[in-house]
Structures are given as C-alpha cells and as structure tokens.
Amino acid sequence: MALALAFTFESTALVLHAIAAPIFFSIISFVYFTKFHFTGPLKTAVMFVGVVVLMDVVVVAMLIERSFDMFRSLTGTWLVFALIFVSTWLTGVLVNRASIPSAMPASITTELIWAEIEAQLFAVLSYVTPKAEARSAGIVYIVRDRKLYIATGADSWKAKHIRLNPRVALNVTIPKRIPFMPWIKIPAATIALHGMARVIAAKDADARVIQALMRGKVEDLELVAQTCVIEVEPTGHFVTYGVGVPLLAMRDPKKARARVPVA
C-alpha cells in the first residue's frame, strides 16, 4: 500500500511539474515578447531551455542530488524541456502575429522624451572651438524647468569654448538590457538635441541646482568657487532612436526613429 501511494504521489508530482513548467514559461515569454522582444521565437526558446538545462545540471544534479539520474527520466526531465521549448516558441509566434497590425511606431510625445531625459543622468555634450573644430565630452546633468544643468571646472576647456560659442548639442544615452540575459548586447536608445548654452558662475546659480549638482559637496567652498554651471536650453526638436519602441523594433530605423518638438 505504501509503495502504491509513493508511486501515485511521484506520478502526480511529475504530471504537475509537466503542466506547471510550460504555463510558467508561457507567462515569462509573454512578458519578454511584449516588453523586450529582442530575439525571435526560436532563438528565445533555445535560450530559455538552455538556461533551464544549465540550472538542472549545475544546481539540481551536481549540488543538490549529486547524481545525474534525473536525466534518465523521459517524463520528469526531457518532456518538461520539450514543453518549455514549445510553449516559449508558440508564445513568441502568437505575440508576433498579434502585433503585426501595429507595425507603425508608437506615438512619442514631448512629455515622454522629457521624462526619459530626467530619468537618466549621463550624456555626451558637443561643442566647437574658436577654430570651428568639433569637441565632445561625457557629462553628468540634472534637469530643472526643462533645462539641463552641468557642473564643470570654471577654467575647463568646455566652459571656455561655450562662453565663446553657446551653440551646443547633447546626446542622452538610455541603456537597454534583457533581464536574466546580460550576454545579449543591445545598443542604447538615444535622444539627440541641440540648443543654446550659457556659463554661470556657481555663486550666481540657483542654490537648488548647485545642491543637486555638487551631490553633498556644496559645503566645500573652495570647490564651489572653482566650479561653474553650464545651462542648456534645448531648441527645435528632439531626434530619438529606440525610445518608446520594443527592442526588436530598434532594428528597423523607420520604427525606431522619431522627431519630437522640445516644447
């Protein structure tokens, strides 16, 4: 009787495992294909199954059970792998078919772009020298009242050049990642803008801006005295790539690009 109960319990557990695994990965796949979608259904199914197999080999077989007997079970192991593969692939195919009618890029608004800019802190600032030679520098910025503020040395080259020519450009980069798949290299989304800049002495800048830019070092009066603030007011339009679109759409320039007024 005990043997029969044990056999029944084990059989039920295998059936539940075989049912639960594809359902779980169907949900994960649906989230992936609707939110990220950087790889196709077949490649994604292979990667998902590969991760599961690796976890079973390293964690379950080698560390917990210290045996590879689990891989002798057709129902408990290989059938589950196959169901995970099929459920992931099928979810990707169905999501792809459902999204075909909406092939046009998503509506990108000025508010969305400003929200993305405010959520980031790094950008590349471009300017020109008096000899009309292009220069650029990586900077950290903050946003106040739809203007960007950058702290730099009062005697830095970018401050000197911008004092002479206030026309600048900024390129804000937005990192892209796929959760649990850091090995997939994805280009950053970008927001390009141009505008007019002015250099403000730290003592003349808004106290709240200085407080945010100095990040806790505002009490260092000597450092503050050697600092100036570059204020950039965007003009014209933002030019974006990969903002507000699925990752897979970044492969298509027509879907990934947008041009949005700054105000």
* CATH for 234: 2.30.110.10
Rounded CA-CA distance 140/149 in Å is 9
Average confidence (pLDDT) over 144-155 = 95
Q: Are 19 and 146 found together in one domain? A: no
Q: Considering the domain boundaries, does residue 104 fall inside one? A: no
Contacts of 5 (CB under 8 A, 6+ apart): none
Q: Are strands 189-201 and 227-241 parallel, antiparallel or unpaired?
A: antiparallel
Q: CA dihedral in degrees (160, 165, 167, 169; nearest 10)?
A: -40
pLDDT at residue 10 tops 60: no
Query: What's the pLDDT at 2?
Result: 32
Q: What domain range includes position 41?
A: 2-99
Distance CA 260, CA 224 (A): 36
255: Cβ contacts below 8 Å, ≥ 6 apart: 103, 104, 105, 245, 249
Contact by Cβ (8 Å): 146, 118: no
Expressed in angstroms, the distance from the first to the final Cα of the chain is 77
- For residue 251, give the 3-state DSSP assignment: helix
Domain identity same for 85 and 123: no
Residues 139 and 228 in one domain: yes
Structural domain count of the chain:
2
Alpha-carbon span 263 to 243, nearest angstrom: 17
Looking at residue 160, what is its pLDDT?
95
- Tell whether the torsion through CA atoms of 233, 210, 115 and 245 is positive or negative: positive
pTM: 0.65
- Categorize the per-residue pLDDT at 138 as very low, low, confident or very high, splitting at 50, 70 and 90: very high
- What's the average model confidence in pLDDT over 203-211? 88
